[in-house]
């Protein structure tokens, strides 16, 4: 089985997508667990919250990623 690879020019979009996917999933799971608990409504509450968080998080990541990269470059030095 071979893995389909994306072009390098899409690396920023892929990075933002994957970071949003991981962070949104962990944060949504944590917050819904705290707010709702392990009740019968947990799965639906998680799905609704996850989609909402991802819909906000992905554009935010795409817009802020270039600014954050520039800031990190200014705050760090080469060894």
Domain range summary for the chain, segments of one domain joined by + = 12-74
Task: Output the pLDDT for position 1.
Answer: 67
Residue ranges of the chain with per-residue pLDDT less than 50? none
Task: Output the pLDDT for position 7.
Answer: 85
* Contacts for 16 with CB less than 8 Å, ≥ 6 apart: 58, 61, 62, 65
User: pTM to 2 decimals?
Assistant: 0.79
CA 45 – CA 39 distance, rounded (Å): 10
Task: Output the pLDDT for position 5.
Answer: 83
CA 34 – CA 13 distance, rounded (Å): 31
Inter-CA distances, 48 with 15, 24, 41, Å: 24, 12, 11
Inter-CA distances, 79 with 31, 74, 76, Å: 39, 14, 9
Task: Output the pLDDT for position 9.
Answer: 87
Task: Output the pLDDT for position 42.
Answer: 96
């Amino acid at each position: 089985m071979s893995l389909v690879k994306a072009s390098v020019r899409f690396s920023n979009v892929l990075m933002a997508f994957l970071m949003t996917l991981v962070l949104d999933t962990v944060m949504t799971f944590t917050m819904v667990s705290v707010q709702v608990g392990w009740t019968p409504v947990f799965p639906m509450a998680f799905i609704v919250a996850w989609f909402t968080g991802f819909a906000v998080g992905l554009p935010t990541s795409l817009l802020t990623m270039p600014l954050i990269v520039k800031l990190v470059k200014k705050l760090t030095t080469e060894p």
